[in-house]
Chains A and B, each alone.
Chain A
Amino acid sequence: MVSGLINANPIVYEKKERRTRTAPDDVNEYAVEPIDQLEIFDHLRDIKDPEHPYSLEELKVISEDAIEVDDKHNHVRVTFTPTVEHCSMATVIGLCLRVKLMRSLPMQYKVDIRVAPGTHATEAAVNKQLNDKERVAAALENPNLVDMVDECLAPTFA
């Protein structure tokens, strides 16, 4: 493992206020509420950074605008921005995002995770690794990695 922190002193941004959805008074019992950006963002915002006790939202690693959802075609794409270009934690963050969405979305959903273009030194490699299901599955066989991921995801289930 790497000794020392990769980004020792990240900029911490303010958390966005939680938008509470206003429920209409006469709720139609059978109306469908589609999965949307905010819902996905709510799943992801509290994931803890692997290095710091801050959430990905606070570090602006993910934002609401960086999530694309197509509910009809069951497709989600999350674009995240590592705090520094050479961040070796990018794959771990990506893995966390993927695991969280795997656990939170219906099975038919396809999830794409990618690094925002131009924000990481080995962008292509990271993207490839994150979207290769064999490699993701293999990573999740690794107890150390699973522990790490679970630790990062813990706050999102609170």
Chain B
Amino acid sequence: MADSTHLVKHIESYVDSSSSPSQQSASLDAITALLENDVLTIEALVREMEMYLTITDSIIRARGILLLAELLGRLASKPLDDASIRSLIGFFTERLADWKALRGAIVGCLALLKRKSNVGMVTVNEARAVAQSYLQNLQVQSLGQHDRKICFELLECILDCYPDAVVALGDNLVYGICEAIDGEKDPECLMITFHIVEVLARLFPDPLGPLASFAADLFEILGCYFPIHFTHPKGEEVDVKKDELSRALMLAFASTPLFEPFAIPLLLEKLSSSLPSAKVESLRYLSYCSVMYGADRMAKHAETLWSSLKDTIYNSSQPISSLETEPLDGMGFQENQITTEAILLMQKVILQNDGLFISLIVDDEEIKSTINSITSFKNYADIPMQNKKKLYAVGQILSVSAKASIASCNRVFESFFLCLMDALGLSGSSGDSHPEEDFEFSGRLKYGALYLCIELLAACRYLVLGFEESSVTVSAHEKWCCMLQSFCYSLTETLCCTLLTSTDKDIQNAYIHSGVRGLQILATFPGSFLPISKSIFENILMRLMSIISLNFDKAFLWKLSLKALVEIGSFVDNRHEADKAPSFKGIVVEKIVSLMSPDDSTMPLSLKLEAISEIGTTGLNFMLTIVQGLEKTVFAKLSESFVHGNVESAESTVQLLECFSNKLLPWFDKIGGFEEVPFHFAINIWDQIEKSTDFSIGLQEKELVGATMTAVKLAVANCSEESQSIIVQKAFNVLLSSTFSSKEFISGTTSTKLEASQLNHGLNSFPCRDQWRVSLFASVIIALRPQTHIPNVKAIVHIFLTTLLSGHVPAAQALGSIVNKLPLKINTMETSDGCSLEEVLDIIFSTSVRTSDGNGLLRRVCGTGDGSDISLSGLRLSNVNNSLLHIHAIVGLAWMGKGLLMRGHEKVRDITMTILSCLLSDSDVGALSLKQGPSKDSTEQDVLAVMKSAADAFHILMSDSEACLNRRFHTIIRPLYKQRYFSTMMPIVLSSVAKSDSPITRSMLYRAFAHIISDAPLSAILSEAKKLLPILLDCLSMLSEEISDRDIIYSILLVLSGILTDKNGQEAVVENAHIIISRLLGLISYPHMMLVRETAIQCLVAMSALPHARIYPMRTQVLRTISNALGDPKRAVRQEAVRCRQAWASIASRSLHF
């Protein structure tokens, strides 16, 4: 052995108790490696170690044995020959008697016993010898925690892997185990002991075997752990969870029916304890054990079990309030858990032995008396709380019993149903032959009976549905079915009556809840199993519908009825109930559609729309009918408002359209594949527009236009490319049939000259009809997919350019969408009217507008043709109209710029420069005002307005828009476009600020700056925080004058607070701390917006966390100002001020004297 010296060194290092644990494990690793690589054999090792294994010094001996054992543990997958295993297991078995060096022996046995047969394992006889030695020599309970644990592991291993070896040990083994596990307290050990008991029980199933004689003792040991109760503090690291432990114990409890005589009484006793967790545990154990112990053994406990279960359910039920409203979630959780566990247990025992248990329930005096007492109260309000609780409990018990099986359902119905019906004052009739006379209904129903009756109905519906799933058909001749059937008619009538005989509101709600629920249950019995005839089903639907259409003033009833109808509808749709679907469609869907007809004005429109959209979502078939109906109404109303200028119908049309775009279209979008609906809607709208040649409604009905546009946009956006092309073509034709049909537009490929006389009159110059057409056409264009082919782009662009210059924003947005989505290059082989982006841009930028001002000069609004050099050099402003025109042009440019910016086109730069030059055009003002002295004021104002609109153009460019250019409308969006634009624009704006000398220009630049920065991503701003912060603060002071700028102020303040709270911004903030604080202090008294004041104070709180030396000088000033904010008119501001004052006061001394 070349390595023998190494080996000896390693062994010595391991055995030496003075060496560190890391050294020991290193030498263990080294020896393992030697053995693994066959450099060393086990025999050689043992021979080498002989001295350590047999030495009289017990410490060294223990280490030696442990080394050998650990090595064996690591070689679990290395084949060893039988002879070595034989001698090793013999050695370790013998060593179990050596209590001074025990650990090694146990680990060794464990390692050897765990070996698999393919690498050489211990024989049965050897395993038995280990077990015998174990039982003879080990005093497990006197060992330490770790030793106990491995002892139990050894035992577990023997029981698991060598059952044959130990069965023969019989009594001896069971006794030994009892002794070993008695009094164990460590959770980890307990996990193993519980498992040991479980396996043991499996080994000795014989009711006369060794386990039987020890069952009492064994259970005595186990029983004291129940219920598992952890006293470990929460923070302590415990590997074993309470739930795992509890589960292991439950398995041990249920491991053998032999435990039954001991376990069930114990569990029942604990069930009556007052500790909620103990109750839950015992219910859980009982559920599990009763199944494992079997029906026969459980039978003798049935009576006691029933009485304790009854008590539990009676006493743990939640407050009765759940009867009236929806079940309250999260309330009385513990209570509810007890009830659910109890119900589960009851379900199990009833299923196990239904005859016996059901008789107990049925014959129970307490239930009978509860039912009697409850049915004796006439009115809901008369029932005392205690009785309501009982009522609830009985409801649950009956419901569970009826749900359990057909037989139990029959029993329950036999015993209780008739008496409930009696209490309700109903008499049965055979079959469907009802007397046609009106149902007599007098007085008020007994609520208790009603409630229980509904519970029973719900239970049997559940039962039937459960059987349907397992494809077992329930015979309709079961006893309960017949009973139910005979009462069906009168029950329905009664329930319907309950809904309407209202007196007191609170009381009524309880009845309504039950009534609607009952009707819903009756209507949703599966059709294949039919105690409910068609006529009754239709009757129910009609009743509910009449509530919907007539009783809309009773909100609660109305809501519940609608919900019930929705449930019934989805039930009918989901289960393909062939005979019920037509009834539902005929009675509910068509009725509801007819409600929409314009001449029906009984019901508020908002409720109609709610009903219609809810019912529609129950099924595609119903939805299609409803959409048709709704569309019809929409168009009828639209034409009414177009032709007669009916303002009222315009209002309702707006509501209808909103319902269409907010509820129905998204639903179709969600289920997918139904683009006909939006497609038809869009086409029909255009038909309508085409038909109405005479508009008497003005654009003053802004809302109507807006709602129509939104609906059209959404509808078009949901269509596929092909449908979109059709829609565009149609829309374009309609558009051409109006004013825009002049040849100029269609042929206009080069520079089109627009007569400014037309433009100067602004919007009024177009007939109302054309405005509608252009607006809707713009909506279509906005919503198109990029791939959709747009016919005659050039003409369309011209139309939009014209309308845009008269101040029509949708036209500008449409242009923005066009430039965003047009393909860069177009295949010229395609249609002749195709047009690439470049061409369109050329058209846009080369359009010159002739204005008819005094001098008749050609004004170029958008600059000249070669695209790269768009400038406003030629621009001079002389009158109001021109400045207005100019502003419209800027807005248009901004939207187009946005379209280009989002797709990442470089032309956006030119547009930006044009806008910027408008913004800087103030130098002209001076020159101009010199020339035209008298008109100076108005001119100056015009220029200001233009500059302002140029500054605000940056808001359009940077902000997200709901109306267009977003994902919903298939916009091409380049990632990080905002960030990119921000970083290109900032240097330009900053240098312009530095260059500008006039205060007006400067303020306009600040405005633009504010728009850009408030929509830029924070991370981009943070990297430049140092440079930006001073300007940002100037913005704050500059813009806080104007009341109209409050939204800008707020958004800049949000940017500032973003910088303040991010740690990357800290450096810049610390540098500017003083100026930031004084600006914020100024904003604390900002009168125009509460949010600004609140945010400013929050920013100040954040500032108080800065380095002490930096902010201390400001402390007095801050405290003085903030104390004024304590008297702020708004509560939220006052609250923040209190926090802020405290934060600043406590940075120095905590005394009150600031």
Partner of A21, one of B1088, B1123, B1131, B1150: B1131
B277-300 Cβ-contact flags toward A at 8 Å (1 or 0): 000000000000000000000000
Is residue A116 contacting chain B, with contact meaning CB distance below 8 A?
Answer: no
Q: For chain B, residues 1125 to 1154, give those with C-beta under 8 angstroms from any C-beta of chain A.
A: 1126-1127, 1129-1131, 1134-1135, 1138-1139, 1141-1143, 1145, 1150-1152
Distance between Cα atoms of A116 and B1129 in the complex (Å)? 31
In the bound complex, residues from chain B placing their C-beta under 8 Å from that of A107 are 1123, 1126-1127
- Given A104-B1126, A108-B1127, A140-B1151, the answer on whether A29 and B1089 have CB atoms closer than 8 Å is yes
Is residue A73 contacting chain B, with contact meaning CB distance below 8 A?
Answer: no
B1127 touches A106 (CB 8 A): yes
B1130 touches A33 (CB 8 A): yes
A99 touches B1152 (CB 8 A): yes
A157 touches B1123 (CB 8 A): no
A156 → B minimal CB distance (Å): 9
Is residue B42 contacting chain A, with contact meaning CB distance below 8 A?
Answer: no
What is the interface of chain A, defined by CB distance below 8 A to chain B? 21, 27, 29-33, 35, 39, 42-43, 99, 102-108, 140, 146-147, 150, 157
Cross-chain pairs A/B with CB under 8 angstroms, 8 sampled: A27-B1090, A35-B1134, A107-B1123, A108-B1127, A146-B1151, A147-B1150, A157-B1138, A157-B1143
B1138 touches A31 (CB 8 A): no
Distance between Cα atoms of A157 and B1143 in the complex (Å)? 9
- Given A27-B1090, A157-B1142, the answer on whether A150 and B1150 have CB atoms closer than 8 Å is yes
Distance between Cα atoms of A104 and B1138 in the complex (Å)? 5
B1049 → A minimal CB distance (Å): 13
Partner of A103, one of B1130, B1131, B1135, B1142: B1142
A39 → B minimal CB distance (Å): 6
B996 → A minimal CB distance (Å): 33
B1130 → A minimal CB distance (Å): 6
A2 → B minimal CB distance (Å): 24
Closest chain B residue to A32, Cβ basis = B1129
- Given A105-B1126, A157-B1139, the answer on whether A29 and B1090 have CB atoms closer than 8 Å is yes
In the bound complex, residues from chain A placing their C-beta under 8 Å from that of B1129 are 30-33
Interface centre among B1088, B1090, B1145, B1152 (most CB of A within 10 A): B1152
A140 touches B1152 (CB 8 A): yes
A106 touches B1090 (CB 8 A): no
Distance between Cα atoms of A140 and B1145 in the complex (Å)? 15
A103 touches B1089 (CB 8 A): no
Given contacts A33-B1129, A106-B1123, 20 further A-B contacts (CB under 8 A): A29-B1089, A29-B1090, A30-B1129, A32-B1130, A33-B1131, A35-B1134, A39-B1134, A42-B1135, A103-B1141, A103-B1145, A104-B1126, A104-B1134, A105-B1126, A106-B1124, A106-B1126, A106-B1127, A108-B1127, A146-B1151, A157-B1138, A157-B1142
Q: For chain B, residues 1081 to 1135, give those with C-beta under 8 angstroms from any C-beta of chain A.
A: 1087-1090, 1123-1124, 1126-1127, 1129-1131, 1134-1135
In the bound complex, residues from chain A placing their C-beta under 8 Å from that of B1141 are 103
Interface centre among A21, A30, A106 (most CB of B within 10 A): A106
In the bound complex, residues from chain B placing their C-beta under 8 Å from that of A146 are 1150-1151
B332 → A minimal CB distance (Å): 14
Distance between Cα atoms of A61 and B707 in the complex (Å)? 57
In the bound complex, residues from chain A placing their C-beta under 8 Å from that of B1090 are 27, 29
In the bound complex, residues from chain A placing their C-beta under 8 Å from that of B1134 are 35, 39, 104
A39 touches B1142 (CB 8 A): no
Distance between Cα atoms of A27 and B1126 in the complex (Å)? 20
A29 → B minimal CB distance (Å): 6
In the bound complex, residues from chain A placing their C-beta under 8 Å from that of B1127 are 106-108
Q: For chain B, residues 443 to 476, give those with C-beta under 8 angstroms from any C-beta of chain A.
A: none
B398 → A minimal CB distance (Å): 35
Distance between Cα atoms of A31 and B1132 in the complex (Å)? 13
In the bound complex, residues from chain B placing their C-beta under 8 Å from that of A104 are 1126, 1134, 1138
Interface centre among B1087, B1123, B1126, B1139 (most CB of A within 10 A): B1126
Partner of B1152, one of A21, A29, A35, A103: A103
In the bound complex, residues from chain B placing their C-beta under 8 Å from that of A102 are 1152
In the bound complex, residues from chain A placing their C-beta under 8 Å from that of B1126 are 104-107
Distance between Cα atoms of A21 and B1134 in the complex (Å)? 15
In the bound complex, residues from chain B placing their C-beta under 8 Å from that of A43 are 1138
Distance between Cα atoms of A99 and B1150 in the complex (Å)? 12
Q: For chain B, residues 877 to 898, give those with C-beta under 8 angstroms from any C-beta of chain A.
A: none
In the bound complex, residues from chain A placing their C-beta under 8 Å from that of B1135 are 42
Distance between Cα atoms of A140 and B1143 in the complex (Å)? 19
Distance between Cα atoms of A140 and B1151 in the complex (Å)? 7
A126 → B minimal CB distance (Å): 21
Closest chain A residue to B1141, Cβ basis = A103
A64 → B minimal CB distance (Å): 16
Closest chain B residue to A99, Cβ basis = B1152
- Given A29-B1088, A29-B1090, A32-B1129, the answer on whether A103 and B1150 have CB atoms closer than 8 Å is no
Closest chain B residue to A31, Cβ basis = B1129
In the bound complex, residues from chain B placing their C-beta under 8 Å from that of A99 are 1152
Interface centre among A21, A31, A33 (most CB of B within 10 A): A33
Distance between Cα atoms of A146 and B1152 in the complex (Å)? 9
In the bound complex, residues from chain A placing their C-beta under 8 Å from that of B1087 are 30
Which 3 pairs across A and B sit closest by C-beta, in order of nearness? Answer: A106-B1127, A32-B1129, A104-B1138
Distance between Cα atoms of A31 and B1150 in the complex (Å)? 35
Distance between Cα atoms of A20 and B1089 in the complex (Å)? 22
Interface centre among B1127, B1135, B1141 (most CB of A within 10 A): B1127
A91 → B minimal CB distance (Å): 17
In the bound complex, residues from chain A placing their C-beta under 8 Å from that of B1150 are 146-147, 150
A102 → B minimal CB distance (Å): 7
Distance between Cα atoms of A47 and B1129 in the complex (Å)? 25
In the bound complex, residues from chain A placing their C-beta under 8 Å from that of B1142 are 103, 157
Distance between Cα atoms of A150 and B1151 in the complex (Å)? 9
A103 touches B1151 (CB 8 A): no
Closest chain A residue to B1154, Cβ basis = A103
In the bound complex, residues from chain A placing their C-beta under 8 Å from that of B1152 are 99, 102-103, 140
Closest chain A residue to B1137, Cβ basis = A104
Distance between Cα atoms of A157 and B1087 in the complex (Å)? 26
Closest chain B residue to A23, Cβ basis = B1132
In the bound complex, residues from chain A placing their C-beta under 8 Å from that of B1145 are 103
Distance between Cα atoms of A102 and B1145 in the complex (Å)? 13
B763 → A minimal CB distance (Å): 29
B311 → A minimal CB distance (Å): 28
B1093 → A minimal CB distance (Å): 11
B329 → A minimal CB distance (Å): 16
Closest chain B residue to A143, Cβ basis = B1151
Distance between Cα atoms of A104 and B1123 in the complex (Å)? 9
Distance between Cα atoms of A34 and B207 in the complex (Å)? 81
Closest chain A residue to B1142, Cβ basis = A157
In the bound complex, residues from chain B placing their C-beta under 8 Å from that of A35 are 1131, 1134
In the bound complex, residues from chain A placing their C-beta under 8 Å from that of B1151 are 140, 146
Distance between Cα atoms of A103 and B1123 in the complex (Å)? 9
Distance between Cα atoms of A147 and B1129 in the complex (Å)? 32
Distance between Cα atoms of A116 and B1134 in the complex (Å)? 28
B615 → A minimal CB distance (Å): 29
Distance between Cα atoms of A43 and B1145 in the complex (Å)? 17
Distance between Cα atoms of A39 and B1135 in the complex (Å)? 9
Distance between Cα atoms of A33 and B1130 in the complex (Å)? 5
In the bound complex, residues from chain A placing their C-beta under 8 Å from that of B1123 are 106-107
In the bound complex, residues from chain B placing their C-beta under 8 Å from that of A42 are 1135
In the bound complex, residues from chain B placing their C-beta under 8 Å from that of A106 are 1123-1124, 1126-1127
B319 → A minimal CB distance (Å): 16
A100 → B minimal CB distance (Å): 9
Distance between Cα atoms of A8 and B527 in the complex (Å)? 68
Distance between Cα atoms of A150 and B1135 in the complex (Å)? 18
Closest chain A residue to B1126, Cβ basis = A106
Interface centre among B1088, B1139, B1142, B1143 (most CB of A within 10 A): B1142
In the bound complex, residues from chain A placing their C-beta under 8 Å from that of B1143 are 157
In the bound complex, residues from chain A placing their C-beta under 8 Å from that of B1089 are 29
